[in-house]
Structure 1
Amino acid sequence: MNWVTKTFTELHTQELYDIIQARVNVFVVEQDCPYEELDGKDQEAIHLLGYQGTELAAYARLFLPSAEREHASIGRVLVKKEYRGTSSGRELMTKAISVLEGYQQKTIQIQAQYYLDRFYRSFGFSPISDVYLLDDIDHVDMLRVQKETSHA
């Protein structure tokens, strides 16, 4: 998969359309979850796009810490249906973590759908909340703290 990171202002119109279409198809249509997909946060995000050829196959939205957010975070994690089961999700998360670590971020938070708990734990995320209902889907907040490497 070919990976690209862009800020909102770097996105071309077609890229933005492809992102919105993929997010609506996965989070609203597939999960039968009507919610406000366009939340006003895309403008401050780093957009991670994974392409298979010229087609957007995987996507995540990354944030650095800010006044509203104590930790870096990863959200809107998706792999299009036709690319699932091909390790694209694992590749996406590995790349997302790597991008944030490139910004010297050692602590990353996610708001995970609970059924993916084991998947996210495999990347070093640990639950920091009880399971809660969000848009009729069980979620759990998780945190990943990069381990310090010793230079002995």
Structure 2
Amino acid sequence: MAHGRGHRVDVAQPGHRGRDLAAPGQGVGRDAAGLSAGSPAGARPLSPDWRFARFDELSTRDLHDLLRLRSEVFVVEQACVFLDIDGADAAGWHLFARIDGGIVACCRLLAAGVTFAEPSIGRVATAMGVRGTGLGRALMTEALARSRSLWPGQPIRIGAQRHLERFYGSLGFVADSAPYIEDGIPHVEMLLVPGARP
């Protein structure tokens, strides 16, 4: 039976302003207009290389770098010892962005029944150095577009850290569970129903 625990979502800083990336099915290219690093006065545009792939299509380097970023965010930064490699990665699609060769943002998309009864987005992470640039919002916008393409007309579920509830609400998600503690961190399940607009 599918369950929601162990489905970490961590991405946003307040004020992200992103835009849609390449359309689903057309590949994700090197395009990040509207994303910038640093302060507005001295901002340099971020130009991530985006990739969307099934687990079996990931290179050894991709897999290493995905797991490294997730470990940096979920284990080291959040001081949370847990087993990130939960067996669901092999069943999923992985969306990630590279800048200067390193993965700086990632998430995985899972079909209904893998973690939740609905399709889901999880293991959402952005590197500390790119937070506040809009990359997290761009990542989630693209992940939602990809999810709608893979599973048209189906709701999407996430297990969100409570401090990110407003961010996910701005994308159209609504709280759909009582708050719960996972690995010492307050979480809530959230659902995005088909046709919902932020």
Give the TM interval when normalised to the shorter protein. Answer: over 0.9
Distance 1:140 1:84, change over 3 A: same
- Tell me which residue corresponds to 1:116: 164
Distance 2:155 2:100 in 1: 32
Q: What is the CA RMSD across the aligned residues, in angstroms?
A: 1.6
Counterpart amino acid of residue 134 in structure 1: E
Deviations 1:2-61 (A, max 9, x none): 321111110100110000110111000000000011111110010111122422110001
Distance 1:68 1:27, change over 3 A: closer
Any idea what SS the aligned residue of 1:94 has? helix
Which residues in structure 2 correspond to 1:77-88 (within 5 Å)?
77-88=124-135
Query: Any unmatched runs of 5+ in structure 2?
Result: 1-47
Given candidates 62, 71, 75, the residue that maps to 1:24 is 71
Distance 1:125 1:98, change over 3 A: same
TM-score (norm 2): 0.72
Q: Which moved more, 1:33-42 or 1:59-68?
A: 59-68
Q: Which moved more, 1:48-57 or 1:126-135?
A: 48-57
Distance 1:34 1:67, change over 3 A: closer
2:158 paired with 1:138: no
TM-score (norm 1): 0.92
Does the CA-based 8 Å contact 1:57-1:80 persist in structure 2?
yes
Given candidates 174, 180, 191, the residue that maps to 1:126 is 174
Counterpart amino acid of residue 48 in structure 1: L
TM-superposed deviation, 1:130: 1.2
Any idea what SS the aligned residue of 1:140 has? strand
Distance 2:110 2:62 in 1: 19
Does the CA-based 8 Å contact 2:88-2:115 persist in structure 1?
no
Higher strand share: 1
Distance 1:79 1:92, change over 3 A: same
Does the CA-based 8 Å contact 2:88-2:114 persist in structure 1?
no
Q: How many residues align?
A: 149
Any idea what SS the aligned residue of 1:60 has? strand
Higher relative contact order (CA 8 A, sep 6+): 2
Counterpart amino acid of residue 111 in structure 1: G
Does the CA-based 8 Å contact 1:72-1:105 persist in structure 2?
no
Distance 1:67 1:56 in 2: 25
State the identity %.
Answer: 39
Higher helix share: 1
Does the CA-based 8 Å contact 1:110-1:142 persist in structure 2?
yes
Distance 2:114 2:96 in 1: 26
